[in-house]
Structure 1
Amino acid sequence: MIYNNTKTLVESLMKDKIPTSKICLDMTFGNGNDSYKMLSINENIEVYGFDIQKDCIDNSRKFVNLKVINDSHLNFDKYINQKVDFVVFNLGYLPGGDKKITTDYDTVIKTLDKLLKVLSIESQIVITFYPGHKPGLEESINIIAFLQKLNQKEFNVIRYDFINQINNPPFVCLIERIK
């Protein structure tokens, strides 16, 4: 497989983990592409998608095991009371949407802090960052600072960068719970 963008990289990570997963979260549902991809890999998983934009929820395709929730990802624990196997964040703004509505690093960090407590062993969180615009750059700096402080005996944190691309290309972080 050729990894020519973050989408192909994230899909490869999904294909590796989703077949053995039960509970998956799409923390930035948007157009639903990550949720639909997870379900195409394993139709037996339960996927919870979160978005604060009602249009995203209204326009979502219906699947029996997809629950799309019009709420902040920070509130995921109001809807899920079990261990989580796979989580995806696609930060920034909705493609084709209002660029003034973006994810907020403070909320993402608070969500991550809560998520780390409910991850099953060998679970993964995949985060795509977009540092090519000012809010995205600020977001990536602050979230990376948080991730760098995670206990290495409990978590692996891996950063995938396209280091030969110009103009602050997107990058991906993978957080694995190892203990």
Structure 2
Amino acid sequence: MKKILAYSHHLLEEVVRQGDTVMDATCGNGNDTFFLSQLVKEDGNVFAFDIQEKALENTSTLLSKNNIQNVKLIHDGHENCEKYIPTNDELAGAIFNLGYLPKGDHQIITTPQNTIRAIQSILTRLRPNGRIVIVVYHGHMGGKEEKEKVLDFCGNLDQSYYQVLQYQFINQINHPPFIIAIEKLC
């Protein structure tokens, strides 16, 4: 079985193609941004968001080391993504890592209202068969509330238009992360 991060990437590899537009909702240390940039190649576009300057610096450093030119780094919350992605661009995929920046300030966290607002915005731009992959880290202050609200929101998406997957390992201790994946059907 694939581990959580490997499976999150697998879910996007199945639907993202060269030339696509994609979004990293929480660029953090840049690993997902880098991964997405490799999927869409030079003629694709990656919009990478974070509210922390340190996350943008970390991502920028990784991209520079690898001579990546197809990423737009945005110092803003993912809930404001509609301000930055051109209205005529369909999204092939998006990824979130909820929680806090690894090795960063644990007081700066994603919040349920901002995450749900971002998901709603992305859903309006997601192309048919496109996917949103949400890696839910919930073992921190505020994590349980976000987990419950995001699960509730995603679980209530109309099955005529979306299918929603939850992928998790149930025998791990200490609040293991899990995935929620949303695929747009039409």
Q: TM-score range by the shorter chain?
A: over 0.9
Worse-superposed segment, 22-31 or 5-14: 5-14
1:57-76 paired onto structure 2 within 5 Å = 57-59=56-58, 60=60, 61-62=63-64, 63-76=68-81
Q: 147, 151, 165: which one pairs with 2:154? A: 147
1:87-98 paired onto structure 2 within 5 Å = 87-98=94-105
Residue in structure 1 matched with residue 23 of structure 2 by the alignment:
25
| Equivalent-residue separation in structure 2 for 1:48 and 1:21 (angstroms) | 13
Show structure 1 runs of 4+ deviating over 6 A.
Answer: none
1:77-88 paired onto structure 2 within 5 Å = 77-80=82-85, 81=87, 82-88=89-95
| Equivalent-residue separation in structure 2 for 1:88 and 1:175 (angstroms) | 10
Aligned length: 177
| Equivalent-residue separation in structure 2 for 1:33 and 1:95 (angstroms) | 12
8 A contact 2:27–2:33 mirrored in 1: yes
Query: Which structure is higher in RCO with an 8 Å CA cutoff and minimum separation 6?
Result: 2
Q: Is 1:122 matched with 2:129?
A: yes
8 A contact 2:27–2:49 mirrored in 1: yes
* Gap regions ≥5 residues in structure 1: none
Give the CA deviation at 1:21: 6.2
Residue in structure 1 matched with residue 167 of structure 2 by the alignment:
160
* Gap regions ≥5 residues in structure 2: none
Worse-superposed segment, 130-139 or 108-117: 130-139
- One-letter amino acid of the counterpart of residue 88, structure 1: I
CA-based RMSD of the aligned residues comes to: 1.5
Identity %: 36
| Equivalent-residue separation in structure 2 for 1:40 and 1:119 (angstroms) | 20
Give the CA deviation at 1:9: 1.1
Deviations 1:45-89 (A, max 9, x none): 210000111122233124221000111111111111221110000
